[in-house]
Amino acid sequence: MALIVQKYGGTSVANVERIRAVAERVAKFKMLGHQVVVVLSAMSGETNRLIALAKEIQARPDPRELDMLVSTGEQVTISLLAMALKDLGLKAKSYTGGQVRILTDNAFTKARILSIDEGNMRRDLDSGHVVVVAGFQGVDADGNITTLGRGGSDTTGVALAAALKADECQIYTDVDGVYTTDPRIVPEARRLKTVTFEEMLEMASLGSKVLQIRAVEFAGKYHVKLRVLSSFQDEGDGTLITFEENDSMEQPVISGIAFNRDEAKITVVGVPDQPGVAYKILGPVADANIDVDMIVQNVGHENTTDFTFTVHRNDFNKTLDIVKAHAAAIGARTVTGDDKIAKVSIVGVGMRSHVGVARKMFEMLSKENINLQMISTSEIKISVVVEDKYMELAVRALHQGFELDKAGA
Ligand code: ADP
Ligand code: ASP
Ligand code: MG
């Protein structure tokens, strides 16, 4: 007997038929004698619909009220699944995040999980219930409903698996695993049988929406056995996130390509080239709880420098306001913004043992005449920022150029 946490995403619970299909899959695992905790997303499109409603009322919706609103999507699917399970003759009970007591901080719309009370779930599992938990949501110390950021149900799934010391966390979605890149953009993309935890972490952080980054972080921290599978297929091993590196000669240099259209770029022009400038610019941004991603400061000329950084597009206007408000104090000439950018990244632990990967990447992109606005590298990834209309071309060119479409690549 194993304890399994299964998370089903929006398309997997998009309507009543899909919810019944999930119930049948859960029933199969129960019949095999396993204990099952199910974590659900809202029906696909529902979270977007709710956010759009909020924006009709308030251009920048109040974060606490927004969380109150969007958390309802998951409440619909958990209750329906519990009913479907009961209809199949199983014992089942649904819980909101607050009812489990998934305690988070109070950073509405991007809360972090602080602790999970496993008492209720354990009791129900021991009495033969399937426990069905609303993904994406928690509760802060004052009892306010919080949400964990878009795609946050993955994080709920992995966090519950960690708290319950589950044998496996299965993420069911509309693709049958993690691919070399998003198969919607590159149809030749291939499923990876395994991907290292480190690579998955990079891919998620660089925009591969198949897993939310915090879910991967949790899996790493608590050594959760994590697998991505399709809820539309009966068979298949999906992709296993592994902790060991495959150091055989067959280790490909590049494992995957990630991209992200969700960023925007802010440039502070003509800043005095002095110590403390980065701190002065980014301090107020950090104080507003805004994450900064790429940062580039060019070589100063005439004692001034340009300072460019990227933030999530949702934070673009707010960041621009903050930086503009501080521009005079920083001594900057002007502040400009551009939200028509995209970030394209190649990822692979194999890069560690190969030289010239960046050169190859830049050559492939230059052949397509794509201008690189920013570049950043780490041991196992290279990212470039390009104009967003060239993003798909860049991804396809790199996928082909690094031969990721070829089996065994
Ligand atoms: P869910 O609603 O089940 O959470 P998501 O839409 O969040 O599903 O994530 C699954 C989607 O992630 C796929 O449909 C696919 O388009 C996209 N995706 C992006 N990068 C990858 C990748 N490298 N491998 C597989 N899918 C990817
Ligand atoms: N429903 C939430 C979203 O659309 C959480 C999730 O699906 O993981 O972002
Ligand atoms: Mg998702």
R_g of the chain, CA atoms, integer Å? 23
What stretches in the chain show pLDDT beneath 70? 245-251, 407-409
The pLDDT value recorded for residue 408 is 60
**Which residue is closest in CA terms to ligand 2's atom 8?**
151
The pLDDT value recorded for residue 407 is 65
The response to whether residue 175 sits with its C-beta less than 6 Å from ligand 1 reads yes
The pLDDT value recorded for residue 245 is 67
Distance CA 132, CA 39 (A): 6
- List, in order of start, the domains of the chain with CATH numbers: 3-174 (3.40.1160.10), 256-401 (3.30.2130.10)
| 44 Cα nearest atom in ligand 1 | 2
Q: Ligand 2 center to residue 357 CA distance, Å?
A: 35
CB 296 within 8 A of CB 374: yes
CB 251 within 8 A of CB 350: yes
Q: Ligand 1 center to residue 206 CA distance, Å?
A: 13
Closest listed ligand to the CA of 172: 1
Q: Ligand 1 center to residue 259 CA distance, Å?
A: 12
Closest listed ligand to the CA of 195: 1
Q: Ligand 2 center to residue 43 CA distance, Å?
A: 9
The pLDDT value recorded for residue 409 is 45
The pLDDT value recorded for residue 303 is 84
Question: How many other C-beta atoms lie within 10 A of the C-beta of residue 14?
Answer: 18
**Which residue is closest in CA terms to ligand 2's atom 6?**
151
The pLDDT value recorded for residue 218 is 95
128 phi, psi to nearest 5 deg:
90, 10
Residues 263-296: b if buried by 16+ CB within 10 A, e if exposed? bbbbbbebbebeeebeebbbebbeeeebebbbeb
The response to whether residue 345 sits with its C-beta less than 6 Å from ligand 1 reads no
**Which residue is closest in CA terms to ligand 2's atom 9?**
150
Q: Ligand 3 center to residue 13 CA distance, Å?
A: 12
Which residues neighbour ligand 3 (ion) by CB within 5 Å?
9, 151
Distance CA 208, CA 240 (A): 16
pTM as predicted: 0.92
Only one residue has tokens 């499923």, namely: 191
Mutation pick for ligand 1 pocket among 6, 18, 182 (CB with most ligand atoms within 8 Å) = 182
- CB-based pocket (< 6 A), ligand 2: 9-10, 41-42, 47, 73, 135-136, 150-154
The answer to whether the Cα torsion of 348, 349, 355, 358 is positive or negative is positive
CB 121 within 8 A of CB 132: no
